[in-house]
Amino acid sequence: MSEDGTNNNKARSSHSRPSTCPSYFRWIHEDLRPWRDRYNERDARESEEQQGAFQGYNPRREGLLRWYPGRLPDLELMFDANDRPTVRSNDYKGQQHPAPPPIFRYCSDDASLDIVFPDWSFWGWAEVNIKPWAKSMVAIQEGNKMTPWKDRVAYAYWRGNPNVAPTRRDLLTCNVSAQQDWNTRLYINDWVRESREGFKNSNLENQCTHRDNSKCTSLKHAVHWGNTHLDQTTFTGLKQVTTIKKQLITTHHKFPDQCDVVRNQTQQQERQQLPMSEDGTENDKTGSSHSRPSTCPSYFRWIHEDLRPWRETGITRGMLEKARNNKAHFRVIILDGKVYVKKYRKSIDTRDVFTLWGILQLLRWYPGRLPDLELMFDANDRPTVRSNDYRGQQHPAPPPIFRYCSDDASLDIVFPDWSFWGWAEVNIKPWAKSMVAIQEGNKMTPWKDRVAYAYWRGNPNVAPTRRDLLTCNVSDQQDWNTRLYINDWVRESREGFKNSNLENQCTHRYKIYIEGWAWSVSEKYIMACDSMTLYVRPKYYDFFIRGMMPLQHYWPIRDNSKCTSLKHAVHWGNTHLDQARKIGEEGSRYIREEVNMEHVYDYMFHLMNEYAKLQKFKPEIPWGATEITPDSMGCPATGRWRDFMEESMVMSPSEASPCEMPLPYSPAEFREVLERKANVTRQVGLWEDQYFSNLRNGNKP
């Protein structure tokens, strides 16, 4: 090679006219200027040994030599791997110090002469799980593509260790508080905990969610300027990474023998949270706040409809007590961020236990953001507040009672059912875990290779409509294109539920949903299978089904002629495979994306907030009520009940705000939604009638 190592390119392909280096390379000349007029003297180098520098093998230099083999000149240098520069320029002014000692390090400042060199993390920082820069950069670039810049969180974000310097501790005084919002969202990183938990909260690509990674007034102004000069902010390079998907809920925890860790972790999380606003919606106490959060799924609009009976009158204590007389199972009181419960009667199985557990998890997901409230809950199946009983002046408003389903003739307020946190009696795991398992089950058999019949497995003894369904089973005389099976839960329990794993039931192209005594918990599991759901016309609805549309998310089945309707549906699907598959996959996508646990908690959050706004009284703890906590509920639990609580326990608050509540339906919009569903269902009925008419007339259907 040439003496300066630049003319003869022995390494890789050579450009006769190489591109010009970036402008910051010019600072190399400035960093070496103190020695420009003289060679580096050995005594200057040796003086660095007194300052703790190392000499010899440098793994970073070895990497360079593999990139440009044979092109580095012979040299000796000293390296100080500590943080702060040590060669102060004032110490080397004047004739007594003709040149300072040349020492390499990772940074310098305007009062120092240390020579700046790339730091170790470009090749990885194993202790904190930061990958080499080339790999990290690719991951961050992928994060960039996920959301347009203008949709990012419009605050300045920082996460790190404030204990390394006073300036960082000073930065924390700029955090959002009840008194002031400096347009910042600042978080402490506990590296010891991160290491113990596998660095799950410190992936760099998951932290680029804000517009400004930018003390207090300066930050506030910077964010204000950026939010009022969006295009300029993007253009000038302040652009960070786009907003990524909402943080997945971390839900695994082993209750310790002493069973006090839950309380300790909760207290630690509360100490690290940010202050909140009075209504729990403005200041994000639970991680990064979205000034423009994503809009909630359309079915959230039904919250307004469910609460409409009290919109004019509000909810009085007298109305609440009337709900108790309506045979409520328990009363829930949320006061100052704590949950109290007073039980009035025993529920079926442990429905009440897991419903209350779910409410506790909501407060862990959005700590400090739920308003004070009191509500009554009926954990039975069928609604009891009949709308006809509360028409007229003598009944200005009905009793507000929460339950898992309602119908068009009732005014019960619909709330997510207990099985989202697990149904221990029949070994149905918490929804987050079940959904993952069903998704894996979906991959096992390609859709077109699935059994080309309609499948149902369940207990027919809970309702006449299910016993009627069994008449549609295949027989020697007739094949209605169905394969129907009775589930013996007593036997299943005795044999360890080996035949009732939900993920093993995604083997047919079509799956039947039919109500039981009221709505059925099975609904979400059936619809998550990618199979086209054959939805027998229901009487009852839960909280999310009202956002689904026939022929988009499911195929409607007549309830008064199930057999013929099922036969036609399967025939249509088998002769329109792509369309049938699309309906099945769209229904599953809806369940997966719009009924995930993040949205379940958001629905609970908005429903409770809207309900609390209607209260005309101050919530209080009644005699006989007890506070419930993860400790008090989880520690005494055993077996599957304990396992499901462990699996569904929220271990860290949300780093995103709740989705943005959509506006109520206007009368015209409401009418249009109902008419659209009715018209599509009617159209399917016409197709079915034509199909059987063709069969009777000997025509090919």
- Domains in the chain, please, with CATH? 23-118 (no CATH), 132-244 (no CATH), 298-417+598-664 (no CATH), 424-541+545-594+674-696 (3.40.50)
pLDDT band of 174, cuts 50, 70, 90: confident
**In this predicted structure, which of 94-108, 193-207, 208-222 has the lowest mean pLDDT?**
208-222
| Average pLDDT estimate for 553-563 | 96
| Average pLDDT estimate for 128-147 | 81
Mean residue pLDDT of the chain comes to 82
> Residue 435 and residue 334: Cα distance in Å, rounded?
30
415: three-class secondary structure by DSSP: coil
Q: What are phi and psi of 156, to 5 degrees?
A: -85, 130
DSSP 8-state code for residue 449: G
**In this predicted structure, which of 49-58, 95-104, 302-311, 437-446 has the lowest mean pLDDT?**
49-58
pLDDT in tens, 460-504: 999 999 999 999 998 888 899 999 998 877 777 777 776 667 888
* Type of residue found at 462: V
* Type of residue found at 691: Y
> Residue 505 and residue 7: Cα distance in Å, rounded?
69
> Residue 563 and residue 468: Cα distance in Å, rounded?
9
Percent of the chain with pLDDT over 70: 78
From the CA atom positions of the chain, what is the Rg in Å?
33
pLDDT value, residue 51: 52
> Residue 557 and residue 565: Cα distance in Å, rounded?
6
Q: Which of 198-207, 238-247, 664-673 has the highest mean pLDDT?
A: 664-673
Give the pair of three-digit tokens for residue 558: 């007549």
**In this predicted structure, which of 167-181, 384-398, 634-648 has the lowest mean pLDDT?**
167-181
pLDDT band of 179, cuts 50, 70, 90: low
pLDDT in tens, 302-352: 999 999 999 999 999 999 998 888 789 999 999 999 999 999 999 999 999
- Of 142 and 353, the structure prediction assigns the larger pLDDT to 353
Percentage helix, strand, coil, to 5, in the chain?
Answer: 45, 15, 45
- Of 493 and 423, the structure prediction assigns the larger pLDDT to 423
pLDDT band of 35, cuts 50, 70, 90: confident
> Residue 322 and residue 411: Cα distance in Å, rounded?
14
pLDDT band of 150, cuts 50, 70, 90: low
pLDDT band of 505, cuts 50, 70, 90: confident
513: three-class secondary structure by DSSP: strand
pLDDT value, residue 406: 97
> Residue 604 and residue 586: Cα distance in Å, rounded?
24
Residue 304 and residue 606 in contact, taking contact as beta carbons nearer than 8 Å? no
